[in-house]
Amino acid sequence: MKDMSINYSAFPTYIPIDRQEGLHEVISLSGGRSSADALMQLINGGFGDPEFHHVVFDNTGKEDETCYKFLSDIEQCTNLKINWLEYTLTNQFTNELIFSSFSYDKFNRCEYTSIGQILDIKKLRSFKFEKSPNSFWYKQGFSDRKLNIKEVDYLTASRNGKPFTDLFLYKCAIRIMKGQGIILPSVGQRWCTGDGKEKVTERWLANKGITEYISYKGMRFDEPDRVDRVMAKNKVQDKIWYDCPLHHTKTNKIDVLMSWSGQPFDLGLKNDKTNCFYDVIGNCDYCHLKTLLKKMWLVQNGFDIRYWKQIELIANNYNGDVDAMSRQHGTYEQIEKKALEIEPISLSQILSDAEVQISCTNCTD
């Protein structure tokens, strides 16, 4: 039997300067190597008390299967519990606002073109928008900080995009209720990570009575802009402190790759499509913040883009306009068309492409 013991000496040691006894510490894993590397550095520095230390993964249902396997391996080999969380709609929202004919599998197969096929638009327009103190946005029952969070695990985690779909439908409902157009996730509206990940973690902790803690992120030393965005939150937060272990230990992307390359498991290959060493896929398959070249490589190599085309189509059909998650790159339909018209893109081209630092602070490695 293969030895699955982690070689912790391959990772630096990180001990937070401001660590306080009894203060909760939380690390958010994305499913990639960098945040997992930060976890290993924290473990080397004494992280692991089950009462005060928490490891969280917020699933969108659109991560690659290799990410889920990687997380499962980490959980087994470190003996640390990973808290797998998902955003989910409340039963009241589902029963009163979504037509009974709606199917998540049909949505994942991209069989919808209009939000009116899914949500009761007439009923939504009859509602008066009001916030609730125990909600994400809307009144009690339709939105709830406890009922909107689902705890799952490696085996039960969604693989058909349900958490992202639920959040998209919720966002659509709120906009329709307000008489406004549907907003797609974009550079300026990153609700996919804000509402689908960061708020899910914060509310899950709050439900446990944990409101003061250190939150660790997997931003590396070679990502100074992302680190600055994370650390800037410390100026406006008084109960949550943010820290980036990899920045302090001066760990860059090559360091991360080398640390994992000698371990008994790594972010592995799948059907010869995923080149794990070069991180072509990342965590959320067609993230709008990825470079255009990466998106087109994914299209050329058979990664299904229909889900994201459908999201844009539904929003644009309702708005009566043509918008894209990435206005710089065009719609996913335009990206797909261009990818199929050009010569095959090589991995070397992707490596030489000017990589833009992903703006989100909780979703990708």
- The mean-pLDDT minimum among 202-206, 314-318, 356-360 falls in 356-360
Q: What are the backbone dihedrals phi and psi of residue 4, each rounded to the nearest 5 degrees, phi first?
A: -105, 20
The pLDDT score that the predictor gives to residue 282 is 61
| Position with higher pLDDT, 164 vs 193 | 164
The pLDDT score that the predictor gives to residue 56 is 98
Please report whether residue 321 resides in a domain: no
**What percent of the chain clears pLDDT 90, i.e. is strictly above it?**
66
Residue whose pair of structure tokens reads 């029963």 in the numeric block: 95
Residue 138, phi-psi category: left (phi > 0), alpha (psi -120 to 50), beta (remainder) = beta
Distance between CA atoms of residues 230 and 346, nearest Å: 33
Please report whether residue 346 resides in a domain: no
Mean pLDDT of the chain: 89
The pLDDT score that the predictor gives to residue 353 is 61
**What percent of the chain clears pLDDT 70, i.e. is strictly above it?**
90
Please report whether residue 361 resides in a domain: no
What's the whole-number mean pLDDT along residues 292-300?
Answer: 92
Angstrom distances, CA of residue 217 to CA of 183, 291, 325, 365? 27, 22, 25, 10
Say whether pLDDT at 356 is over 50: no
Band the pLDDT of 9: cuts 50, 70, 90: very high
| Position with higher pLDDT, 252 vs 355 | 252
Q: Which residues contact 51 (CB under 8 A, 6 or more apart)?
A: none
When divided into structural domains, the chain yields a total of 1
Distance between CA atoms of residues 281 and 300, nearest Å: 13
Beta strands at 149-152 and 82-87: parallel, antiparallel or unpaired: antiparallel
Counting every residue, how long is the chain? 365
Range of the domain at 100: 21-271
The pLDDT score that the predictor gives to residue 122 is 97
Please report whether residue 50 resides in a domain: yes
Q: What are the backbone dihedrals phi and psi of residue 145, each rounded to the nearest 5 degrees, phi first?
A: -65, -20
Band the pLDDT of 128: cuts 50, 70, 90: confident
Joined together, the tokens standing for residue 96 give 């009163």
**Most confidently modeled of 5-9, 185-189, 260-264, 266-270?**
5-9
What residues pair up with 213 in beta bridges, in sequence order?
Answer: 24, 240
pTM of the model: 0.91
The pLDDT score that the predictor gives to residue 352 is 65
What's the whole-number mean pLDDT along residues 113-141?
Answer: 88
Sheet arrangement for strand 53-59: 149-152, 82-87, 53-59, 24-29, 213-216, 240-243
The pLDDT score that the predictor gives to residue 192 is 84
Please report whether residue 335 resides in a domain: no
Joined together, the tokens standing for residue 6 give 């982690």
The pLDDT score that the predictor gives to residue 357 is 45
Please report whether residue 132 resides in a domain: yes
- The mean-pLDDT minimum among 56-70, 179-193, 195-209 falls in 179-193
Please report whether residue 5 resides in a domain: no
Band the pLDDT of 82: cuts 50, 70, 90: very high
Angstrom distances, CA of residue 17 to CA of 45, 79, 225, 287? 11, 25, 22, 34
What's the whole-number mean pLDDT along residues 343-354?
Answer: 78
Q: How many CB atoms lie within 10 A of CB 26?
A: 20
Please report whether residue 196 resides in a domain: yes
Say whether pLDDT at 6 is over 60: yes
Q: What are the backbone dihedrals phi and psi of residue 27, each rounded to the nearest 5 degrees, phi first?
A: -120, 130
Distance between CA atoms of residues 270 and 285, nearest Å: 13
pLDDT digits (tens, 9 = 90+) for 38-51: 999 999 999 999 99
pLDDT digits (tens, 9 = 90+) for 237-277: 778 999 999 999 999 988 998 999 889 988 864 444 444 44
Say whether pLDDT at 308 is over 50: yes
Say whether pLDDT at 52 is over 70: yes
The pLDDT score that the predictor gives to residue 104 is 94
The pLDDT score that the predictor gives to residue 314 is 97
- CATH code of the domain containing 214: 3.40.50
Q: What are the backbone dihedrals phi and psi of residue 130, each rounded to the nearest 5 degrees, phi first?
A: -150, 140
